[in-house]
Amino acid sequence: MSSQLETAVAPVVRHSLAASPVLAFFGLAAADVIIKFGGFHRLYDTVRRWPVSKKKSANAEQISAVIAGIDRAGRYYPKHALCLQRSAVGTCLLRMAGVQAQMVMGCRKIPFRGHAWVEVNGEVVNDKPNVQNQYRVLDRC
């Protein structure tokens, strides 16, 4: 009986933890610290190595809740969280929820600009869907 209860409760607990604005807030802070002391390469390497949880993958509603949690955390974060930090945190939190998320980095020439976003199964989850058409993809991790 307890295993049935764990099976029923585990996705809810995992979902609420990954979608937590508090966890996202600390994730944004961690991303800033990593960039400050280790640079972009260290943040990139951290995201690239972040494991995907072996638990059951989250559904579209849970994915949206994780992204909404990051948006809420960003409103209270003392600095403006750039796309790189938000995408790194989003990728890691989604992976904690069992989602095969990828952080995508791209650029465009005119006007020159770099950008980062998160994709799940090739679909953008934390930005406008047409962002893929506006930027040339440099890397995915």
pLDDT digits (tens, 9 = 90+) for 95-131: 999 999 999 999 999 899 999 999 999 999 999 999 9
Percentage of the chain beyond pLDDT 70 is: 88
Does residue 8 have a pLDDT over 60? Answer: no
Going across the sheet that includes 136-140, the strands are 123-124, 113-120, 101-108, 136-140
If one counts the domains in the chain, the total is 1
**Is pLDDT at 12 greater than 90 in this prediction?**
no
Which domain covers residue 113, as residue numbers? 2-140
The pTM (predicted TM-score) of the whole model is 0.85
Q: Answer whether residue 141 shows pLDDT above 80.
A: yes
pLDDT level of residue 11 (50, 70, 90 thresholds): very low
- Label residue 90 exposed, middle or buried (CB < 10 Å: 0-12, 13-18, 19+): buried
Average pLDDT over residues 16-24: 82
Query: 111 is written with which tokens?
Result: 């006007």
Mapped onto helix, strand or coil, the DSSP state of residue 55 is: coil
Residue 59 has pLDDT above 90, yes or no: no
